[in-house]
Amino acid sequence: MVDVEKRRYARQHREAVIQLLIWTDDRQAHGRDDTFIPVRMANLSEEGVYFEMERALPAGSAVSLKMSAPDDASAKDAYYMNHGRVRWCRALQGGKGRFGIGVKIVEQVVQADVRSPHFHRLA
């Protein structure tokens, strides 16, 4: 049997440690957006990211993912900020309390440190 890829965009298998921000009503109400958690990204595509972490996230949770910008970014301090929604979360077999999480990206921005004039939105 042939395994058919049903995604619109090809996956890039790229492992990296990225920073996760989980948005909650309480966090939004208090405007706290500076508490990022390091997680291990295993792959990404133009519209989604897969990562693993030690806690489960409910489907529909709003998250932001901060990761290094490509080497050809215009500023040394540039980074990607992906805003998305958790599509699914599954316990990993033999993962001892680890979960695999799929996120659909709804907005992707490449930006630099706020002191930098570099900021542009990706289509």
Q: Which of 19, 57, 23, 12 is nearest to 38 (CA)?
A: 19
Do the beta carbons of residue 113 and residue 66 sit within 8 Å? no
In this predicted model, what pLDDT tens digit does every residue of 80-100 receive, in sequence order?
788 999 999 999 988 678 999
Beta-bridge mates of residue 100 = 52, 90
DSSP secondary structure letter of residue 9: S
State percent of the chain over pLDDT 90. 35
pTM above 0.75, yes or no: no
In this predicted model, what pLDDT tens digit does every residue of 5-39 receive, in sequence order?
555 656 666 778 888 988 876 555 444 556 789 99
Q: Is the pLDDT of residue 65 over 60?
A: yes
Question: Residue 58: pLDDT band by 50, 70, 90 thresholds?
Answer: very high
For domain 12-121, give the fold. Answer: Thrombin, subunit H (2.40.10)
Q: Where are the domains of the chain?
A: 12-121
- Strand intervals (E) in 6-121: 12-23, 37-44, 48-53, 62-68, 79-91, 99-111, 119-121
